[in-house]
């Protein structure tokens, strides 16, 4: 705690002058960076459109109400597809993430080369958005739900495997040691010592990711990978704004329900 001696006596300061200067300097650098980025973005912005946004918004809002309720008849099937994409994609991801997590965890991996490979799979899967996965898959296997399921699956492997391998690294090593001491083989150590300890986490991760995937699968249709996004894309491009507002409401409802379900299930598990 720095205390300065001055004419009036001692003055307390929270920081020494050196740290205070360092903090000021880092603020300055931070603000400079943000300001520079802002300038570059604003250079590429047509400010006329931005200032005009208010009227645009009012115009759009007036065109969006009331939602075209009758369009709902068409939407039931896409909603069902959206849920299926999320669910099947999650199942697929979990099936693949489970072994990868064991290869990536420091305490269960066979060797460091395999671990590096597993970590690379995890990072690539996580870095690429499900929409981009969908973009590629639609190019390979054609548009449709299947591409959506695969896209969600590929995107979720990294997420699930990362959380799972962190859980595996945090298990109680003594329980595994005790199983090892009975003369158990490597595989038996996993099924008796490790898996029971991570099962609750695994269940939690599945529900958590399913909830996120519902959200993500609502937009996969924008690139042709099935689900309600297809209708959204079609309605926007035909300027059918009353349909768009209904679709947005349906997405909102689906997400709220899925969040409620996942909260309930997570509560029941833990």
CB of 120 to another protein, least distance (A): 9
Q: Which of 136, 264, 134, 142 lies closest to 210 in space, CA to CA? A: 264
CB of 49 to another protein, least distance (A): 3
Bridge partners of 11, per DSSP, are 4
CB closer to another protein, 6 vs 251:
251
CB closer to another protein, 72 vs 248:
248
The CA distance from 163 to 160, in Å, is 5
The CA distance from 137 to 179, in Å, is 44
Burial track 108-139 (b if 16+ CB lie within 10 A, e otherwise): bbeeeeebeebbebbeebeebebbebbbebbe
CB of 104 to another protein, least distance (A): 14
CB of 149 to another protein, least distance (A): 7
CB closer to another protein, 9 vs 54:
54
The CA distance from 15 to 159, in Å, is 41
CB closer to another protein, 16 vs 129:
129
CB of 7 to another protein, least distance (A): 29
Residues 6+ apart with CB under 8 A from 252: none
Could you tell me if residue 9 is left (phi over 0), alpha (psi between -120 and 50 degrees) or otherwise beta? left
CB closer to another protein, 9 vs 50:
50
CB of 6 to another protein, least distance (A): 25
CB closer to another protein, 38 vs 69:
38
CB closer to another protein, 109 vs 201:
201
CB of 162 to another protein, least distance (A): 10
Q: Which of 101, 211, 74 lies closest to 160 in space, CA to CA? A: 101
9, containing H or E segment: strand 9-12
Residues 6+ apart with CB under 8 A from 266: 204, 207, 208
């Amino acid at each position: 705690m720095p205390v300065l001696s001055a004419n009036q006596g001692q003055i307390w300061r929270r920081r020494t002058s050196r740290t205070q200067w360092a903090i000021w300097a880092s603020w300055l650098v931070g603000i400079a960076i943000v300001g520079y980025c802002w300038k570059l973005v604003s250079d590429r912005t047509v400010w006329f459109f931005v200032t005009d946004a208010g009227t645009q918004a009012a115009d759009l809002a007036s065109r969006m109400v009331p939602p075209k309720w009758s369009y709902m008849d068409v939407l039931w099937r896409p909603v069902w597809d959206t849920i299926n994409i999320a669910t099947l994609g999650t199942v697929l991801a979990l099936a693949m993430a489970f072994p990868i997590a064991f290869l990536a965890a420091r305490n269960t991996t066979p060797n460091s080369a395999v671990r590096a490979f597993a970590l690379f799979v995890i990072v690539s899967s996580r870095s690429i958005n499900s929409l981009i996965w969908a973009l590629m898959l639609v190019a390979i296997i054609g548009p449709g739900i299947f591409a959506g399921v695969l896209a969600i699956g590929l995107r979720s492997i990294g997420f699930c495997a990362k959380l799972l391998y962190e859980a595996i690294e945090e298990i109680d090593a003594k329980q595994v040691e005790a199983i090892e001491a009975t003369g158990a083989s490597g595989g038996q150590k996993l099924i008796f010592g490790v898996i029971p300890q991570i099962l609750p986490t695994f269940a939690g991760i599945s529900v958590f990711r399913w909830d996120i995937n519902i959200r993500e699968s609502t937009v996969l249709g924008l690139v042709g990978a099935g689900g309600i996004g297809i209708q959204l894309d079609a309605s926007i491009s035909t300027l059918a704004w009353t349909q768009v507002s209904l679709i947005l409401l349906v997405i909102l409802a689906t997400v709220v329900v899925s969040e409620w379900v996942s909260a309930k299930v997570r509560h029941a598990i833990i």
